[in-house]
Structure 1
Amino acid sequence: MRTVTFFLLVVLISALTLNGQSTFSSRVLDATTDQPIPYATIQFNSKNGVITNDNGEYSITISRAIRATDSLIISCLGYEKQSIPLLNYNNEVTLLNPKVVDLEEVLLTNKNYTIDEILEKIKAGLATNYDTDYAKRKLFYRESYYNNIDKSVVNIKKSSIPEINQQLVDSLLNDVPKTNSNHVELLGNLYGKFAPQSKQKMDILKACRLQDEASEVNLENYEKRFNAIFKKYVKRDSYFKIKSGWFSTKEEIDSSLFGDTEKASKEKEMTDQLLAEKRRKDSLRKAGFLNFRKMTIHRLENDHFVDEENDLNFLHKSNRYEFEIEDYAFMNDMFVYVISFKPKRREDYKGTMYVNTEDFAVVRVDYQNVKPLRKFRLLGISLNEYLKEGTIIFHKNDNDKYSIKYIDESSGQSVGIKRPIKIIEKNKNVKGRRQQNMVKGDIDFIVTNLEKTELIVFETESLAEKTFNDFKEKANVLPEYLKKYNPEFWKGYNIIEPNQAIKEFKAIDSE
């Protein structure tokens, strides 16, 4: 009896395991160098799957029972494809061997075209190779913002308010976090035409925002500290004149600091109205999460070389670039030309494009800027847009046209301010000299901002115009706010594996 019971228990456990969903996670490495392979495609039984992140990591969830014939197909540009049976999957690292392409095999599919002939065929196919029709795209989108204060120096040269001194300023600067980041992740279906500026609709299935709001609390604390100092030293009806370089502004002092109850009451009423308006706008902004994200994603879908007005203009303005056929490779069951490009003179980008030898469609582009995209310094204010690089990968959809499969783009800028600053308290209702107090010093700040955007499209299906018109969006979709990374949030969903910065994200007050 015990044997029968044990056997039934084993069968029951096995049935529960096989009939539920399974998640498979690992890394993909180069077999010769042991280096991670980013952008490798992980497919379940040769169907749409996921893509490895920068560190070669992936995680794919299968929503049905695993069968003996099931496998993961792992492929990447320039590597031999590998099939891994799932029945005995053990999460071992996958090693891919570089694939040697036989040039004679490539030339069987096409003649030996010159680079100029290839470029002309690419341009001729831009209008026909890429889909512009209605489609439904199941996708995962992630955007990350990283802020870093590289320099924060304030030197107090003179102050008639004893408590506003170098020690106070230094303590406040030390309290400000030098680094900060926030991340938005979204899984959903995007409906609409691929064509630029066309109307889109979206069904957000799940979304989250990782954000640390502690800095806002710190600013409130700073304001309270300064208000206490001002209340002690400045006079009623005073105003501040702030001078920095050639510019100056005038700031009225809040009379509620001085206990003027009637005036304070009116100002409180006005303040409450302003706060109510701010809350209303914040509510609208949050309620606009759906509209903002769908348009952001759609712009990203079209932000590349196909658009004639795009900054990545190496095809439409090919006379300004130098091209060279570097190699031939095998990518997703197609032979491709590997063609490098770099500017002859003033253009901004260099990179590599991979071109299908059969239809001359550009199926992948790796690009990076060769110089700052924008750089200036004026009156102590500086801006340096120092980075824009990324990878764009296309795949053929069921329209037999190319559409976006994956995008990874990073952009960075540095903003600085270095100038003298003078804060003067004046009062026109006192006898004698109007100037009452003054704080004088120099400020020198440099802040670096880095934005990283990732988009993976799991499935692309043709869509009838009527189906698009009939689809109704869910209003007021909001992300779930997280104070630290939670690996359980996306459990059971296919997404791009997060990088280490996201995995380590934790707000100051999350404990």
Structure 2
Amino acid sequence: MRTNLITLFLFCLTIFTVNSQTTFSSKVLDAKTNQPIPYANIQFNSNTGVISNDNGEYSITITRSITSSDSLVISCLGYEKTSLPLLNFTNEITYLKPQVVDLDEVLLTNKNYSIEEILEKIKVGFETNYDEDYAKRKLFFRESNYSTIDKSEVIINKSTIPEINQGLIDSLLNDVPKNNGNHTELLGELYGKFAPQSQQKMNILKACQLQDEASEVNLENYEKRFNDIFKKYVKRDSYFKIKSGWFSTKEEIDSSLYGDEQPNKKEQEMTEELMAEKRKKDSLRKAGFLNYRKQMIHRLENDHFVSEEDELNFIHKSKRYDFEIKDYAFMDDMFVYVITFEPKRSEDFKGTMYVNAEDFAIVRVDYENVNPLRNFRLLGISMQQYLKQGTIIFHKNGNDRYSIKYMDERFGQRVGIKRPIKVIEKNKNVRGRRQQNMVKGDIDFIVSTIEKTELIVFETKALTEVDFNDFKEKPNVLPEYLKQYDPEFWKGYNIIEPNQAIKEFKALEID
């Protein structure tokens, strides 16, 4: 009899549960248009949830047995919330219906605030709505860099080394890939204040880098290949000097190459600023994986409209923008104003913000630039920051204030170099004139890069200063380097579903 009871219990358990760790994957589409819905919120409970990617795809792992009462709750701004039972879950597409707002509810909630009154309440709320205190944030971060060589020409005008000729240079240029992508993914816990410039500590739980150094599209890659060629042909005790302002070792501009064409004071300051910015970024990278990534993530947490110094300053400089209440909607049970903004004259951004009608916090903003953010041209070197667009979504955290839940940003830059290049071989043991050989020509390069960053915060807990000080970092944590995308690497972890470019990543095999 006892055996029969145990058998019956186990039979019932198999009916109402599945194994203790299950991954559910699907795609979210608009029921009316059949288009993917990005940034949909897929929630299992208060501690387990993910965001759909650009293509509406998601994958969520539940680390306990599933019961007959368990469901996924899928919600998104402007759509009806839906619930999916998990016990008989299939990978079928999930369709969300556009949500119709009840006009009576609008009139009851709206209170007929003008756009000027709403903007003033948003500004007043900056002091109380957004968190600057200590908190522990469990998060997933992904950075993808895509580079393309739009133009690459080197014309040899003179060479006293027969082996270094136009044919060799053309062959070298053809060998270097014109397109490249690399990706960094990190799951970790960030400790510290939300306030800008505050010290942060990080516990990296797991990290990887998909990187193909041999095919990186950058000028340093070309520099290495040119160096290898010149070293092959210089004489013993010789060295060579490159004058172009191109290579990373000679970033300063040798103005003697340009006769009377001298940069003015303002151009010199712009050049110094550009180089200082690059050196700062390089030094941060060299400081170590953990230090660089935690500083970058903390910068993202503050890279938005709350800061008066930020580029996305449409609230602080509201007089320079036109605003219009376009609609009303629901977002995670919040009633929100849908307000568009665009520049009156020369400001840089346009977009849409979603404002909680209860506390006047901006809970989401979609933005894109309408003008290049930066244009730089000096003595054949040009740089244009032509793209900055993204979405920022906020949520109420463990401190009962708003902080970033999800952020997706794309930043585009185009760098061009069109100027003469001179390579001079000198020998330190030759008396008098040390010059031995010379290669002279012109270079014309244009390289475009897109940097895409994604950040999702799964959980935010209040933290005391004592807790922060007591936490000890492991400073030498390094990512695992992968030569191709491995779907098993993040198995069992909740992350943002990778896009097709990441799934297809594979490093080139170099002989």
Deviation at 1:237, TM superposition (A): 5.6
- Return the letter of the residue paired with 1:302: N
* Bigger mean CA offset, 54-63 vs 471-480: 471-480
Which amino acid is 1:86 matched to? L
Q: Post-superposition shift, 1:136? A: 1.2
Summarize the Cα distance change of 1:157–1:490 in structure 2 as closer, same or farther, 3 Å threshold. same
Aligned to 1:229: 233
The answer to whether the Cα contact below 8 Å between 1:241 and 1:249 also exists between their aligned partners in 2 is no
Q: Look up the match of 1:327.
A: 327
**Structure 1 position 423, deviation (Å):** 2.7
* Contact persistence 1:395–1:404 (CA under 8 A): yes
Aligned-residue offset at 1:293: 1.5
- Quick one: structure 1 residues 364 and 431, their matched pair in 2 at CA, closer, same or farther if it must change by over 3 Å? closer
* Correspondence list, 1:266-305, <5 A: 288-305=288-305
Q: Residue 228 of structure 1: CA displacement? A: 2.2
CA distance in structure 2 between the aligned counterparts of 1:419 and 1:218, rounded to whole angstroms? 16
Quick check: which has more Rg, 1 or 2?
1
Q: Which residue of 2 aligns with 1:417?
A: 417
Residue by residue, what CA displacement relative to the aligned partner does 1:287-315 show, whole Å, maximum 9, x if unpaired? 72222211211111111111111111111
Per-residue CA deviation, residues 94-138 of structure 1 (Å, 9 max, x unaligned), is 011111112321221230111001101111111101111211111
In the alignment, what sits opposite 2:102?
102
Structure 1 88/12 Cα, relative in aligned 2: closer, same or farther at 3 Å? closer
Over 3 Å counting, the alpha-carbon distance change for 1:439 and 1:16 in structure 2 is farther
Structure 1 residues 14 and 369: alpha-carbon distance in aligned structure 2, compared to 1, 3 A threshold: same
- Give the partner amino acid of 2:254: F
Amino acid at match of 2:373: L
When the two structures are aligned, how many residues end up with a matched partner?
470
Report what 2:136 is aligned to.
Answer: 136
- What's the Cα RMSD here? 2.9
After superposition, the Cα gap between the structure-2 partners of 1:446 and 1:410, relative to the gap in structure 1 and judged at 3 Å, is same
SS at match of 1:319: helix
Question: Which residue of 2 is the match for residue 267 of structure 1?
Answer: none
Alpha-carbon contact 2:70-2:85 (below 8 Å) kept: yes
Q: CA–CA distance in 2 between the matches of 1:449 and 1:188?
A: 27
Summarize deviations over 1:424-449 as a string: whole Å, max 9, x none. 44568768976543322211000111
Give the corresponding residue for 1:167.
Answer: 167
Q: TM-score, normalised by structure 2?
A: 0.86
Cα distance change on mapping 1:15 and 1:482 into 2, 3 Å:
farther
Deviation per CA, 1:410-467: give whole Å up to 9, x if none. 1010000111223344568768976543322211000111111110001111122222
Give the unaligned 5+ runs of structure 2. 246-252, 258-281
The CA distance in 1 between the partners of 2:210 and 2:244, in whole Å, is 36
1:470 deviates by 1.7
User: What's the offset of the Cα at 1:193?
Assistant: 1.5
The 8 Å contact of residues 45 and 71 in structure 1, kept in 2 or not, is answered as no
2:284/2:292 contact within 8 Å kept: no
In structure 1, the residue corresponding to 2:18 is in which secondary structure?
helix
Q: Relative to 1, partners in 2 of residues 1:119 and 1:419: Cα closer, same or farther, differing over 3 Å?
A: same
Instruction: Specify the alignment match of 2:191 in structure 1.
Output: 191
Q: 1:433 to 1:481 in 2, by over 3 A?
A: closer
Match of 1:377 in 2: 377
Aligned partner of 1:265 in structure 2 is none
Correspondence for 1:247 among 236, 246, 254: 254
Once residues 348 and 24 of structure 1 are traced to their aligned partners in structure 2, the CA distance between those partners, rounded to angstroms, is: 41
TM-score, scaled to structure 1? 0.86
* CA spacing shift, 1:16–1:68, aligned 2, 3 Å: closer
Cα offsets for 1:315-365 (capped at 9, x unmatched): 111111110111111111011101011111121111110001111110000
Q: Distance in 2 between matches of 1:133 and 1:228?
A: 58
Shift of 1:18: 2.4
Q: Residue type of the partner of 1:87? A: L
What is the match of residue 53 of structure 1? 53
**How far off is 1:398 after superposition?**
3.0
- Inter-partner Cα distance in structure 2 for 1:239 and 1:248: 22
Equivalent position SS for 1:294: helix
Give the Cα separation in 1 of the matches to 2:157 and 2:11. 80
The question of whether the paired residues in 2 share the 8 Å contact of 1:287 and 1:476 is answered with no
Which is worse superposed, 468-477 or 151-160?
Answer: 468-477
2: CA distance between counterparts of 1:392 and 1:450? 18
Provide the residue aligned with 2:508 in structure 1: 508
